Amino acid sequence: MMMTVTTTGTTKSIQLRHELKHQISLQEDLVLAGRLRKLFHRDAHAGADGTYRITSLYFDTPYDAALREKLDGVDRREKFRLRYYGGDPDWLKLEKKYKINGLCGKRSARLSRGEAEALLSGEYGFLLRREEPLLQELYSKLRGNGLAPRTVVCYDREAFAYAPGNVRVTLDRNIRTGRSALEFFRPERFALRPLDGCTVLEVKYDAFLPELVRLAVQIPDRRAGACSKYALCRRFD
């Protein structure tokens, strides 16, 4: 499904996808991962063990608007985050994630490490100089809404893809965070674990979920539910 959104006066269409989430036990993870490896292709960017690390820095207002909207189940909400993959923080993305009536979408823009460090230190001028609508929107909300770096979320992901339905199944393990958003580039300090002993299973797809995938990810007595890694890591505030 396509959705039209407006960013600082610029109108753009984004692809909205279905997203299902479950918290599963380590034993369920073991069984499910074995099944998925037999049926689907792993992410081509994964390391030798089939996983890769994701480190994200989430922004929120002084009144925790993004967190409150998530916990309250608001139908239309958004949040900004910085993200890098593996141990290479020189390749970063700024992402704005949308949730609209249960469907998800996102827009993104590349940032250098120097630009990300500038954001962490409160220097926002480059966002206007880049002349990109998403960066200009972030500038507006940093200045006007008090948006600021809030929480780091780090985890190890094993991902699988299935072309029919444009399906992506991910297993996010070892979810961890730190005491300060300023530790974004220091993952060795992420010692706090909000979901110890559990894995987050996510299934994303376009218009339909193929029966093969539905059966593959089926776990007895489990229902899809709201499971936000950002909200989980905010427990340590």
pTM of this prediction exceeds 0.75: yes
Tell me the pLDDT tens digit for each residue of 29-52. Answer: 999 999 999 999 999 888 889 999
Is the confidence at residue 9, as pLDDT, over 70?
Answer: no
At 90, is the pLDDT very low, low, confident or very high (cuts 50, 70, 90)? confident
Please say whether the beta carbons of 174 and 200 come within 8 A. no
| Mean pLDDT for all residues in the chain | 91
Number of folded domains that form the chain: 1
Alpha carbon separation from 45 to 49, 50, 51, 129, 157 (Å, rounded): 11, 9, 8, 32, 11
Tell me the pLDDT tens digit for each residue of 62-75. Answer: 999 999 999 998 99
Q: What is the pLDDT of residue 206?
A: 95
Is the confidence at residue 225, as pLDDT, over 80?
Answer: no
Alpha carbon separation from 103 to 64, 157, 232 (Å, rounded): 22, 22, 21
CATH number of the domain residue 59 falls in: 3.20.100.30
Is the confidence at residue 8, as pLDDT, over 60?
Answer: no
Domain span at residue 223?
A: 2-236
pLDDT above 70 coverage of the chain, percent = 92
d(CA 85, CA 237): 25
HSE on the CB side for 172, CA within 13 Å? 22
Is the confidence at residue 4, as pLDDT, over 60?
Answer: no
d(CA 81, CA 83): 6
Tell me the pLDDT tens digit for each residue of 195-220. Answer: 888 999 999 999 999 999 999 998 87
